[in-house]
Structure 1
Amino acid sequence: MYSKITLTLRHFAQSLRLMVGMPEYSTYVDHMKSTHPDRAIMTYEEFFRERQEARYGGKGRLNRCC
């Protein structure tokens, strides 16, 4: 019973993060290990910064309509 509740809470938390546009680092790491084993995996800080720049526009650029 405890494991079912824990799993449900994890899925709920993951859904909330995806709703606000916060990607899952562990999913990225799993993908890189299985699909691109020859490439270096970014640290969490690098990953977070790259995702923020991709979403909001980095390097002084604004990526929005208004």
Structure 2
Amino acid sequence: MSIFLHRLRQMAHMMVGVPDYDAYLRHMRAHHPERAPMDRTAFFRERQESRYGGRNGGKCC
């Protein structure tokens, strides 16, 4: 896949709220090599909770 199509796909996923697990893994390897990364299921669950209602009881405002 070309770089352009890859970036386009990333942008589309960000716009609809699909988290990028591969980017998360790259970040963890580069910046937190001492920490074990979450598995894909835990990562997705954490992102959903963060976006739609974790800490503030589900309210956005």
If the length of structure 1 is used for normalisation, what is the TM-score?
0.76
Distance 2:29 2:60 in 1: 33
After the TM superposition, list the runs of 4 or more consecutive aligned residues in structure 1 that deviate by more than 4 angstroms: none
Percent identical pairs in the alignment equals 46
Residue 6 of structure 2 corresponds to residue 13 of structure 1 = no
Distance 1:15 1:56 in 2: 20
Task: Name the residue aligned to 1:36.
Answer: 32
| Number of residue pairs the alignment of both structures matches | 59
Distance 2:8 2:59 in 1: 29
Task: Name the residue aligned to 1:25.
Answer: 21
Task: Name the residue aligned to 2:41.
Answer: 45
Larger Rg, first or second structure (1 or 2):
1
RCO higher in structure (CA 8 A, sep ≥6): 2
Q: Which sections of structure 2, spanning at least 5 residues, go unmatched?
A: none
CA-based RMSD of the aligned residues comes to 1.6
Deviation at 1:20, TM superposition (A): 1.4
Q: Which sections of structure 1, spanning at least 5 residues, go unmatched?
A: 1-5
Deviation at 1:12, TM superposition (A): 1.5
If the length of structure 2 is used for normalisation, what is the TM-score?
0.81
Distance 2:18 2:40 in 1: 12
